Chains A and B, each alone.
Chain A
Amino acid sequence: MFANIRRKASSKDAILNRFIIALAIVLLLSFLLAFFYIPIIRIFEYSFSSETENIGLILKEIITDKVNLYALGFTFLQAFASTIICLILGLPAGYFLAKYDFKGKKLLINLLTVPFVLPPIVVLAGFLVTYGNSGWVNTIWQSVTNSTTPLISIFGTIEGVVLAHVFYNISVIIRLTIPAWESVDYDQVEVSRTLGASKYRIFRKIIRPQIMNSVIAASLLVFIYTFNSFAIVLKLANPTYKTIEVLIYRSVQVSHDYTQASFLALLQLILNSIVIILYIFFDRKSRQIAEGKESNLKTDRFQFRNQEWRKIVRNLGVIFFLMLIGLFTFLPILAVIIRSFIPDKAGNSVFYGYQEFFSNKVVSVLNANPLTLLGNTLWIATISTLITLILSLLIVFILRSRYQSIRRYKTSKTESLISYLIILPMATSSITLATGVYLQYRGSAIFDSAVWVFIIVSHVIISVPFATRTILAAYNRIDVELMNVASTLGASRSRVFRKIVFPMIYKGIIVGGLFSFAISLGEFGATYFLARDEFKTLSIGIYDSISSQTLQIPLAMASLLIIITLLCFYAIHKLGEIELKV
């Protein structure tokens, strides 16, 4: 509680510490200012200024434009539908995973999270192979039923978008509600049972109030992720359906209507901020409820011997349900890898895609050398990760160095200011961010000659909230009294950091780093928005070539991304936990 306390400025240690904090604040703020706040101000400026016509009329036109209204409606509808379906599937899955104990449970929970860190373009590729018109599911369906109409149509339909979003986000619900189920006070359930309450009544009166806040918080997160979805909608639903994100992208890159783009970006920013604020509110409430509670959920094992038939049926049902969720999650990933070995036309080798990939020559469907794309992807991810880690550590450092005594033990002004300053980037979609950067810096020398600088910057701003959360979670697990004791034992601030704090958070730092590496690896929206033919990453390469006749090449690239992501993920699994929350 009383970690770092204000001291007389006479101490050298304190002066140095203040200097470091001031430097950290300056560094952080200049980065955010240059690459986030100034671009966002630019969006405001474009929204409300026009050289020729009356701005009011233009805005009115944008608001009442049918295409825009339609897109707004679709964005809400698909986000809502995706969230509801995620809840219907994810809530029971979360409960079963909390309630039942079995071998490999932790691994399964971790594997279910893989889609969340998978590049959207890889998910698209997986969906194409699994659920596409001539994909596996439809082929099997058609040969079984002898019909010519496909079972699922994912192109130009809302089903396709929702299915992909559920695939992407179901892990968010599962992961965030497992702790909620675990922290329900089951003693209260037992007591109510002895008082004669029915199962439904127990759920409504005892369990629901305890898990509600977590469920709402998780739903709001899923809502915002699906609300901001870009790649999936661009490929699957466009041109029939568009989300606001796609519309912003098209306004800038296709119709060059910057006023409309800015206005929509502003709208997106406001809507996002509202959801994020709601999310923070419910997340805090859920943490207050769970605080200081130990799990007293009695876990069950799947037992079949000497059980009454009802229990056997229930166990089988649960296993079947979890297997379905697993299949739904892993099928598209496996499909990408398997399909990358199936030749598209006779005469091509099984390894055609990989041969082309490693041939070190320009591939015509890509109009680029695939190895260069891989190289670009890896070094962009590496640099983004390093910058992300530095910024996240600075944020953690500033937030935790409360330079005040107990008499002012309220949230300090610096602290709340910085909290707000980093909440806003969280509430910004990648396309809004890219639009701002584009409007601010297009035409500048760096933008023309080294667009990768801005791609890195966007990746950094997108991953900083995740990395910060992960490191902060590790930091908050340290008991402040440890630091107090260390300083009474004579250890200086730097010694306390080196010997106590760092050894206890370095795993968190590595996990945060791996997480941001994975995010950068697959980031599509901002990269696609900013990248041009002369500078592409693997994600963009896959997107460009996935409609071609030779699926083996993009799928080989996608498989490589899957493998790198899985490696990151395996390391994360070994080291600790990622924070899916922002």
Chain B
Amino acid sequence: MVKVSIKELSMRYEKKYILEDLVLDIHNGELLVILGESGCGKSTLLKIIAGIIEPEKGTIFFNDADITHQTPQKRNIGYVPQAQVLFPHMSVEQNIKFGLEARKLPKDDVAAKLKWIADLIQIEDLLGRYPREISGGQKQRVALARSMAIEPDVLLLDEPLSSIDASGRESLALSIRRIQKQTETTAIYVTHSSEEARLISDRVAIMYDGKIQQIGKIIDIDLHPMNYLVAKIMGTSNVWPVLYVNENNQGTNISVPIGDVQLQRKLNKKITGIRINPSSFVITDSSVKPDKKIVFQGIVKSIMESDEKTLRVIVDVKDTDSEYIKVDCMKDDLKKELKANTELTLVVDSKEVVLF
């Protein structure tokens, strides 16, 4: 088991910084998901850890050894790239054996490890086939087997699910998770999908602007996103950026794309966004404005049944540029039936507004 520390890593691509003084620590045996939008530099970071690209500045430690300038050959890592890159002229078996043979292991050991990994990843029946004869999901399993066969200190996965069918994604993600835990391999998993992060991560690191912005357990980041961008990358429902803040004698008025939100208190910190839980809204049809509540007018766009008791309603907010609010409501609480394209009023208590 290995812990990885990255210190002040910088990298430029044609004068623009893609990584800037990036700091990141990955614990022994954990699966860390690096979550960020396309082009944020997360693949470059992975390639630097793999030794494929040399950074401009900064250091990388595996345990306490500085490996910044070591070749990929010596790092003992497993690397699964985004596209399904198996060696096309080799059978599945030869693909898996490639790394073992490069290490000049005795034949018996190679055979034993092949059997072990094929068994673990459940691809015994594919060994004799060629990459062109197997499906996308199977290819990615083989790529995983190939990288795990050498028993790497660190496993690096670059959007491993992005090039395969939606149906195979979840099962492959769970396989990755199972094998990583079973072998207790430290793993770094790069993706832009918050769903994948929710599915398999021990911890998540949110990356943009060439830096890791926030790192922690999914649930903590969901509850306390550092700012609006983090919340957006996490794919949280009902988050809006703050446009401007006005202090007045009732408290604070915050302007967000869905309208103005009046809070009954003063703010003591700078805020970038707000979140309102979908279940915090109450649907009414009265036009009387209740005291100390925030009111939104909108048109019902769609109504879906989340489960037997709850409905998920999407409301297009009036007088905005197609801003939507997601509302969860109990069927029993509804005073009359909701219909698409009808007007309604949403009320929310100002205490329910989460600021970050």
A residues neighboring B (CB under 8 Å) = 2, 5-8, 10-11, 13-14, 405-407, 409-410, 479, 481-482, 484-492, 495, 499-500, 503-504
Contact = CB atoms under 8 A, between A and B. Distances in A.
Contacts, number: 95
30 contacts: A2-B52, A5-B52, A6-B54, A11-B71, A13-B73, A14-B71, A406-B13, A407-B12, A407-B56, A410-B14, A479-B83, A479-B85, A481-B81, A481-B83, A482-B85, A484-B52, A484-B72, A487-B52, A487-B72, A487-B73, A488-B50, A488-B73, A488-B75, A489-B99, A489-B102, A489-B147, A490-B73, A490-B74, A491-B73, A495-B102
Interface string B148-174: 001000000000000000000000000
Contacts of A481: 81-83, 85
Contacts of A503: 89
Contacts of B14: 409-410
Contact of A490 (B12, B81, B99): B99
- The 8 A-B residue pairs whose C-beta atoms are closest, nearest first, are A489-B99, A488-B79, A491-B102, A490-B102, A8-B69, A487-B72, A481-B81, A481-B85
Contacts of B244: none
Given A406-B11, A409-B14, A479-B83, A487 B71 contact: yes
Given A6-B54, A7-B54, A485-B85, A499 B47 contact: no
A240 B75 CA distance: 73
Interface string B304-326: 00000000000000000000000
A501 to B, nearest CB: 11
B155 to A, nearest CB: 11
B98 A499 contact: yes
A432 to B, nearest CB: 39
A227 B29 CA distance: 68
Contacts of B69: 7-8, 10
Contacts of A491: 73, 98-99, 102
B77 A488 contact: yes
A490 B52 contact: no
B193 interface: no
B53 interface: yes
B29 to A, nearest CB: 20
Nearest to B54: A405
B106 interface: no
Contact of B88 (A6, A490, A504): A504
Interface in B334-356: none
B333 to A, nearest CB: 48
B116 interface: no
A490 B103 CA distance: 7
A484 B47 contact: yes
Interface string B232-244: 0000000000000
B227 interface: no
Given A7-B69, A503-B89, 5 more contacts: A2-B47, A2-B52, A5-B54, A13-B73, A485-B85
A1 to B, nearest CB: 9
A488 B81 CA distance: 11
B20 to A, nearest CB: 13
A500 B102 CA distance: 12
Interface in B53-107: 53-54, 56, 69, 71-79, 81-83, 85, 87-89, 98-99, 102-103
